[in-house]
Amino acid sequence: MGKKAAARIQPLADRVVVKALEESEQMRGGLYIPDTAKEKPSQGEVVAVGPGKISDDGTRLEMDVKVGDKVLYGKYSGTDVTLDGEEYLILRESDVLAVIN
């Protein structure tokens, strides 16, 4: 993972930067799945988090996810970005469905 590129990304408010975890290129039975047939990944590792959203009363809400968490997110959530040849996804914390333990 491009730690140097990830260190340059500082998300704002309740946004999270995720590096997608690539799924295996083979499925059961040893069949090869070409890139064009692969589904968009829905899990990844958090590489940066914002400071949290400001509530209506002006206090900052703490983030539930942290750098290093493995997370599940909606397949079509967020915005894809490429920085220094590495692909990342920037999404709101509310688009994170679960943390994988």
Phi, psi of 61 (to 5 degrees): -85, 130
Reference 92, options 17, 15, 19, 20; nearest CA is 15
> Which of the 8 DSSP states describes residue 54?
B
pTM of the model: 0.77
pLDDT level of residue 94 (50, 70, 90 thresholds): very high
**25-83 pLDDT tens trace:** 445 466 666 655 556 668 999 999 999 999 999 999 999 999 999 999 988 889 999 98
CATH of 3-100, one of 1.10.1240.10, 3.60.20.10, 2.60.40.1260, 2.30.33.40: 2.30.33.40
Give the pLDDT confidence score for residue 26 in this predicted structure.
Answer: 47
Angle at 32 between CA 45 and CA 68, to 5 degrees: 5
Angle at 69 between CA 68 and CA 72, to 5 degrees: 140
